[in-house]
Amino acid sequence: MNPIQVGLLGIGTVGSGTFRVLQRNQEEIRRRAGRGIAITMVADLDTERARAIVGEAAQVVADARQVIANPAIDIVIELIGGYGIARTLVLEALAAG
């Protein structure tokens, strides 16, 4: 079975921690869930910092809407926080399915 394709919105302190935990525990997730997880896209305004964190593991984009619009992404994880753009992006992701 193909892994679940995940897109992260934001890779600051919480986002980078989430990325590392999911990467580190991939085998355990696969064992328990019966399906792996692949973080394939990361959106952050600071693309250089994001690339330094994710390396070649994921595509890095500056526009979170690219993650939301990508039909290959199964799950969007919002890690920007706040009530402004984060709320808007979550609502857009839900509307996109």
pLDDT in tens, 27-72: 999 999 899 999 999 999 999 999 999 999 999 999 999 999 999 9
- Quick one: pLDDT band at residue 16, thresholds 50, 70, 90? very high
Distances (CA, A) of 73 to 5, 6, 13, 58: 5, 6, 23, 12
Q: What is the pTM of this model?
A: 0.90
Position 5 scores a pLDDT of 96
- Quick one: pLDDT band at residue 82, thresholds 50, 70, 90? confident
- Quick one: pLDDT band at residue 1, thresholds 50, 70, 90? confident
